[in-house]
Amino acid sequence: MPQTLIEKIIAAHAGCDVRPGDMVDIAIDARIARDFGGANVVKNLVDNGLGVADPARTFFTFDCNPGGSDQSYAANQQKCRQFARQHGIRVFDIDSGVGTHVAIDEGLVGPGGTLVSTDSHANILGAIGAFGQGMGDQDIAHAFAYGTTWFVVPPTVKVTLRGLPDATATPKDVTLALNRHFGANGLLGYAAELYGPYVDRLDLAGRVTLASMGTEMGAIILLFPPNAAVLDYCRKAGAPDVRPVLADADARYEREEIIDITGLTPLISRPGHPEDVVPVSEVRGTKVDSVFIGSCTNGRYEDLVAAARVLAGRKVAPGVVLKIVPSTDRVWRRLLDEGVLKTFKDAGALVGNAGCGGCAAGQIGQNGPGEVTVSTGNRNFEGKQGKGKMYLASPETAAATAVAGVITTVDAIPAEPAVFRPGPPVAAPAAARTGAAADGKPTKVRGRVWVIAKDNIDTDMIFHNRYLTITDIRAMGPYTFDNLKGWEDFAKKARPGDIVVTGKNFGCGSSRQQAVDCFLSLGIAAVVAESFGAIYERNAINAGLAILRAPAVGRLRDGEEVEIDFTTGIIRRGEGGEIRGRPFSDAQLKIYQRGGLLVRS
């Protein structure tokens, strides 16, 4: 029976004839877990007592957080490394780059092969005429353990691109044109095969760009019949048994679509929806705060060289931040060897480690509230790449925008960049201006004691650095002592008005204000310590947190009630007796009573 490309690949790996709608078990040539989801894959295997079917076909790729700069990612990465050592699995660690790109460049899979990963853009493998699919943790765990997984054979749409775009258009512009044509779900559940004169001449980098955004059209995969150049690339990469897998001439398609790209000019996707695509000319002149060039969609060598041509001899516009992340370490090194990185640095760009960039929190490429960014990524859903507004465009348009300071194209970069203009001053909230709510705070407090008989409790123990992005004091309380062994549940048990009593050098370490503010968030009445870290003591006084120096550890019992007089420094026990501490100075008392250093009296 005549078969489409996807049907041929699945049939070869299922060992039986297939047709659309069939659910079959297929052999998986390469099984990949990333740092995102990888730890859950390991957990699923360990919890169910499963091993690894074929370590030589099994891999970890750490590309979501290549710096390991996030505590959660670092922990997940280490769990995966330990599991890999036990089972002889190869790890493409934080210095390798985007896992799907590594899979192509390292020859883990060739045309006609199969790959699964915890990456929703694993269908990038369609660029070489292979089957790639993003799957969940349990699916990947099954593939690790048995070398197979089930799959439903999708119907196929044949897409023919008619004509050739304008010389200013790039593969990303053609990709955005497909997004505009199909929308977010026009290929939902389908495999699509791409044909036409433009496709025939498209290099591997361009095919990767188109294939990577099939997910944003709802597609299972966009498949390219491999041309001679792609086959040669895969052979040199060491892919096994490289030969083209092509659809039969009389294959049956669910439907056929012809999309005319004749004369296509640069396009851009407006914030919130990858399919909301318009000509760049419609938003030209929009002021931007930042530009990101990279991602699995546009982080290959050819993409970055195209951006460098625009940046050569130019500077990023004043106040604009340009962030660049190559897709793989191989690309990064080639850019270094050929002087392209120098071009980026001379222009004023930040160049990061190879990796995904942008899409994952903690990565280079995220933006902040109100920030306007042009990105070469594949998604601009609200909140996906940060809290601001994200436009999607080609590397050339992104680079031109970085130089201009406003959205523009390569052929319309202004002689002088746009600059930011000062805005009106931001007025403080009325309560903050008056400080009335804080006036008259009592100089005596009574409360239940928590005795933490430890010296040198540092700010990471009080408020761990993984929570430093929290800026709202009201949200800080639950994380107090989260990293202090034996006291992780303090925040759940503490009540407003409680008093913390501890030893020497409390609050040593970093200067983070959250280690003070978390106590204010919980309503802690006072912190008593034999001594405080120098910066912590200043931070606490300035924030209006009542802190008292007194040798109280060993003299007070956990849970007893005491009264503290800040003007005398005396701690009175309910059962009688007192402990003398250092009274508040006049300056400390004034700051405390008005609610903080910056609160107006």
Query: Which helix (H) or strand (E) element contains residue 207?
Result: helix 204-212
Alpha helices in 348-498 (DSSP H): 395-404, 430-434, 459-462, 490-493
Q: Which two tokens stand for residue 125?
A: 């493998």
The DSSP output letter for 473 is G
Mean pLDDT of all residues in 132-136: 92
What is the CATH code for 8-260? 3.30.499.10
Q: How far apart are CA 405 and CA 320, in angstroms?
A: 6
- The pLDDT score that the predictor gives to residue 434 is 33
CB 381 within 8 A of CB 367: no
Asked whether residue 426 carries a pLDDT value surpassing 80, the answer given is: no
Cα distance between residue 358 and residue 347, in whole Å = 21
Q: DSSP string spanning 447-511?
A: EEEEEE--S--BHHHHS-GGGTT---GGGTGGGTTTTSTT-TTHHHH--TT-EEEE-TTBTBS--
Mean pLDDT of the chain, nearest integer: 93
Evaluate if residue 154 carries a pLDDT over 90. yes
Question: Who's near 54: CB < 8 A, 6+ residues apart?
Answer: 147
pTM: 0.83
Q: Which CATH class is domain 432-594?
A: alpha beta
Alpha helices by DSSP H, 300-394: 301-311, 329-337, 340-347
Segments making up each domain of the chain, as ranges: 8-260, 267-412, 432-594
Rounded to whole angstroms, the Cα distance separating 484 from 365 reads 33
Residue with tokens 């008292």: 548
Q: What is the DSSP letter of 179?
A: H
Residue 433 pLDDT greater than 50, yes or no: no
State both tokens at 47.
């919890």
For the stretch 346-361, pLDDT in tens is: 999 999 989 887 776 6
Return the bridge partners of 34, or none. Answer: 37, 61
pLDDT digits (tens, 9 = 90+) for 287-323: 999 999 999 899 999 999 999 999 999 999 999 999 9
Domain 267-412 belongs in CATH node 3.30.499.10: yes
Q: Note whether 8-260 and 267-412 share their fold.
A: yes
